[in-house]
C-alpha cells in the first residue's frame, strides 16, 4: 500500500491580506463570549514569535531538498510571515480593548528559549507537531461555522484566512521532517515524533489554559467559574478540543501523513464564500 503524500497538484498560494486596520475591536469580540474570546486571544498571542520559530525550524533543513519541497518551504515561509504580521495587528487590537498580553508573550519566549537549546531536528519535530495542531484547528474553524458564530467580521475573516493557509501548507513541516530524517530507522523516526508530540500537547494545553485564565482574570472572571466556562467552551459547545481529538490520535498511527485526509474542499468553499462577500 502506497504511503500517503502531499497531493501532486497542490499549490501553496500566499494571500497578502490585511484585517482590521483602523478599526476598533470590542473586548469580547467573539459573539460577546468572554471564554471564546480568551481562548482565541491567548492563541493569537503565541503566533508572531511562534510562527517565526516555525519558519526558522523548517528552513534549517531546506538544503538538499528536492525542488518541489524547496518551493513549498519558500511559500510556507511567505505565508507564515504574513500570519505573524496580521496577528501582531490583532494583538494590538486586544491591547486597545484593555488586555495585557505581556505575561502570555513572556511564556512564549520562555518555551522557545528552552526548545532552541535542543538539536535542530528536535525543533523541526516540535514545529511539525504544532503545525498539526494548527491544521486541526483550522479544519474545525472552516468545517463548523459555530466556532466563529457572532464574531466581529474583521476578526472572523482573519481567522478564516489563516485557517485556509494552515490547511494548504499542513504537509510542509512533515515533508521536511521526512527529508531531514530520511536515513533514520522507521522506529526511531516514529519514536521521536511521538514523544515530541506528547510534550508539545502537554505544553500547549497547559500554557493556553493558563493564558486564557489570565485574560479572564483581567475580565474579573476567576475561580471555578473561569475553569468551568473554559472547559464547556473547549470540550462542550462548540467543543474545539473535543472535535480535534480524532485528528490528534491519527498523528501516532502507522502511515500518518497530514494529507492522508485531503480537505482542500474547505479551502475552496471558504474562498467562494469570501468572494461572495467581497
Q: Is 89 a residue whose pLDDT tops 90?
A: yes
Contact 194, 128 (CB under 8 A): no
Instruction: Please tell me the CATH code under which domain 34-276 is placed.
Output: 1.20.1260
22 band by pLDDT with thresholds 50, 70 and 90: confident
Q: Give how far the C-alpha of residue 222 lies from the chain's centroid of Cα atoms, to the nearest Å.
A: 27
pLDDT digits (tens, 9 = 90+) for 146-178: 999 999 999 999 999 999 999 999 999 999 999
**DSSP state at residue 234:** I
3 band by pLDDT with thresholds 50, 70 and 90: low
pLDDT digits (tens, 9 = 90+) for 119-147: 999 999 999 999 999 999 999 999 999 99
State the pTM of this model. Answer: 0.96
Instruction: Give, rounded to a whole angstrom, the gap between the first and last alpha carbons of the chain.
Output: 44
**Sequence spans of domains, the chain:** 34-276
Residue (of 196, 70, 68, 189) closest to 128 by Cα position: 196
pLDDT digits (tens, 9 = 90+) for 45-76: 999 999 999 999 999 999 999 999 999 999 99
pLDDT digits (tens, 9 = 90+) for 170-212: 999 999 999 999 999 999 999 999 999 999 999 999 999 999 9
Separation of alpha carbons 136 and 247, rounded Å:
7
Sign of CA dihedral 129, 252, 231, 156: positive
Q: Is 1 a residue whose pLDDT tops 60?
A: no
Neighbours of 195 (CB within 10 A): 13
Q: Is 234 a residue whose pLDDT tops 60?
A: yes
Taking CA atoms, 269 is separated from 144, 165, 274, in Å, by: 12, 13, 9
At 162 the pLDDT is 98
Q: Give how far the C-alpha of residue 78 lies from the chain's centroid of Cα atoms, to the nearest Å.
A: 16
Residue (of 196, 58, 199) closest to 122 by Cα position: 196
Contact 114, 122 (CB under 8 A): no
Amino acid at each position: 500500500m502506497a504511503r500517503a503524500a502531499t497531493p501532486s497538484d497542490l499549490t501553496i498560494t500566499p494571500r497578502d491580506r490585511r484585517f482590521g486596520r483602523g478599526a476598533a475591536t470590542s473586548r469580547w469580540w467573539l459573539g460577546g463570549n468572554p471564554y471564546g474570546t480568551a481562548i482565541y486571544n491567548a492563541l493569537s498571542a503565541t503566533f508572531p514569535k511562534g510562527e517565526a520559530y516555525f519558519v526558522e525550524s523548517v528552513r534549517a533543513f531546506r538544503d538538499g531538498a528536492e525542488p518541489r519541497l524547496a518551493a513549498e518551504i519558500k511559500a510556507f515561509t511567505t505565508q507564515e510571515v504574513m500570519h505573524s504580521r496580521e496577528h501582531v495587528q490583532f494583538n494590538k487590537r486586544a491591547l486597545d480593548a484593555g488586555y495585557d498580553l505581556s505575561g502570555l508573550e513572556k511564556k512564549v519566549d520562555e518555551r522557545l528559549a528552552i526548545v532552541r537549546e535542543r538539536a535542530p531536528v528536535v525543533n523541526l519535530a516540535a514545529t511539525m507537531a504544532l503545525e498539526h495542531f494548527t491544521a486541526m484547528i483550522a479544519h474545525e474553524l472552516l468545517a463548523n461555522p459555530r466556532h466563529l458564530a457572532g464574531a466581529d467580521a474583521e476578526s472572523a475573516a482573519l481567522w478564516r484566512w489563516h485557517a485556509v493557509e494552515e490547511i494548504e501548507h499542513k504537509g510542509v513541516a512533515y515533508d521536511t521532517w521526512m527529508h531531514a530524517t530520511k536515513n533514520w530507522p522507521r522506529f526511531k523516526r516514529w519514536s521521536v515524533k511521538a514523544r515530541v508530540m506528547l510534550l508539545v500537547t502537554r505544553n500547549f494545553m497547559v500554557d493556553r489554559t493558563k493564558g486564557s485564565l489570565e485574560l479572564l482574570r483581567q475580565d474579573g472572571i476567576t475561580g471555578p467559574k473561569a475553569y468551568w466556562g473554559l472547559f464547556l467552551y473547549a470540550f462542550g459547545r462548540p467543543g474545539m478540543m473535543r472535535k480535534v481529538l480524532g485528528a490528534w490520535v491519527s498523528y501516532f498511527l502507522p502511515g500518518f501523513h497530514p494529507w492522508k485526509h485531503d480537505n482542500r474542499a474547505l479551502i475552496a468553499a471558504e474562498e467562494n464564500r469570501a468572494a461572495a462577500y467581497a
